[in-house]
Amino acid sequence: MPEKLTVLHVYAGPFPTRQGTQVLVDAICRESSDDGVNTHLLCYDGGSDFKEALPFAVHRIAALLGSPPLRSGPSFGRLPRDILLAAACRRLIRQLRPDILHAHHYEALVACALARGRASRPTLVFHCHALLGYELDTYFPKPYAAQTRSLGSLIDTHLPRLADAVAGVSPFVTATMRNRTQGRIAVDYVPAYVEPLLPAGRQSSSSNPQNGSCVTGLYTGNLDGYQEISRLLDALERLPLKVRKRLRFLFSTSSLAASLKREISQRGLADIVRIQKENTAREAAFALETADFTVIPRSRPGGIPIKLINALGAGVACIVDRHIACQLLDPCEAMFAHSEDPEQLCAAITALTESPQTRRSLQAGGLRCYQREFSKKAARDARRLLYERVLAKKAAASHR
C-alpha cells in the first residue's frame, strides 16, 4: 500500500445525523483517520448542528432548495442530489487523487462508478450496509411488494460488480454478496464498530431494583416500515395489566413522529408510551442510560442495526429477532423473539419487565458479545486487509 493512503468516502445522505448508517459512516471515517489514513467524506448538503471538530475532512454538495431527505428509502428529492454527488466526486478525484473510493450504499456506488471514469480509476470499494432484496418493498404500497422485492434482489446481484471489492456489514450480507458476485470480486466481512455511547460499567435502574418500581423499555432509531414498529406496538397492546402498570416505554428518534403519535393514541398506549426527539449523541446516550432494556422489532435480515450495537456496548439488555442477530448465538447475550409473532414479543417484554435478574444476565452477556464481535481492532484489521488485497491486485494487474 502507499506510505500515506488517501481514501475518499462517499455517502448519499446528509451528515452528520443520529441515523444508524450515518453513525456507522462517521465511525468508519474516524477509525480510518486514527489509523493514519488521509480520510475525506463526500455527502449531501445538510445534517444536524454539529459543534465537534472532526478528525477527517467533510465535503458537501452544493445546497439545494428544501431540506435533504432524512428518511431512508427512495425519493424524488434524492435524484438531483445524486447527480451533484457524482459531479462533486469527479472534481474531488482530480483534486485529491485518492487511492481508494469507499462508497457507502448503492446510490454512492453508482455516483462513484460514474465519477471515476476510465483514466486514473481509483480503486472502488463498495460498503454494503443492507440488502435491498429484503428492504426495498417496505417503502412502497403492498400491491407492489413482489415487484420491488425482485428489483431489490436484481440490484443486490448486479450493482456490486461495479466495484473492485465489497465490504459486508454483517456475516449474512457478506455471504449473500459472495454468492451474488460469484467470486468475480473480493468480498470481505468488515465488522461494524461504533464508539460506545456509555461507559461499559454504566449503572441502570435495573442494577438496584426496588419493589414496585417502574421499568423503562426503549426503542431507538428510524420509524420507517423497514423497522417494523407496528409489530412492537402490537406486542405492547397485549401486555397484561400488571405489566402495563410497571412499564414505561420510550421511543427515541430523529424521525418525524406525528403518525406514530396518532397510532399510539388510537391503540390506547398513551399511558405507557412517550416519544423523545433524538438529534445528538448526548440525547441518544441519555435514552440508553435510563433504559432497563431495549427492543429491536426488525425481523428482515440483510444488515446489522446500529441501535443493537449501541445497546450491547452500553450494557443494556436486548430483545431482538434471531433473523438479524446471526452473530448473537448465545441466549445469554440477548433475548430472542420472533417479532412477527406479537404474543412471543409480548412475552419477552413481560419477562424483562418482571425479572431484574434476567436483565442483569443479559447486560453482562451483551457486553461480552460487543467486545467479541464489534471491537475497534477487528473492524480496523478487516478494513486494512481488504484495502491491501484490492490495491495489491490492482498493482499486479498494472505490471502485466
Domain boundaries of the chain, sorted by first residue = 6-193+375-398, 205-373
Nearest to 57 by CA among 20, 17, 29, 95: 29
Q: 135-188 pLDDT, tens per residue?
A: 999 889 889 889 999 999 999 999 999 999 999 999 999 999 999 998 889 999
Q: How far apart are CA 346 and CA 91, in angstroms?
A: 53
pLDDT tens per residue across span 79-112: 899 999 999 999 999 999 999 999 999 999 999 9
Contact 319, 342 (CB under 8 A): no
CATH of 6-193+375-398, one of 3.30.70.20, 3.40.50.2000, 3.40.50.300, 3.90.1170.40: 3.40.50.2000
pLDDT at res. 19: 86
pLDDT greater at residue 256 or residue 54: 54
Tell me whether domains 6-193+375-398 and 205-373 share a fold. Answer: yes
Do the Cβ atoms of 359 and 292 come closer than 8 Å?
yes
Cα(197)–Cα(326) distance, integer angstroms: 23
Residue 34 vs residue 19, higher pLDDT:
34
Whether residue 203 has pLDDT greater than 70: no
d(CA 339, CA 176): 23
CA-to-CA distance for 122 and 391, rounded, in angstroms?
10
Q: Which of 296, 298, 335, 291 shows the shortest CA–CA distance to 315?
A: 291
Spell out where the chain has E strands: 6-11, 38-43, 57-60, 100-104, 123-128, 165-168, 186-189, 215-220, 247-253, 273-277, 293-296, 317-320, 335-336
| pTM score, whole prediction | 0.91
Torsion of CA 351, 255, 197, 61, to 10 degrees: 150
CATH superfamily name and code, 205-373 = Glycogen Phosphorylase B; (3.40.50.2000)
Is pLDDT above 50 for 15?
yes
Residues in the chain: 400
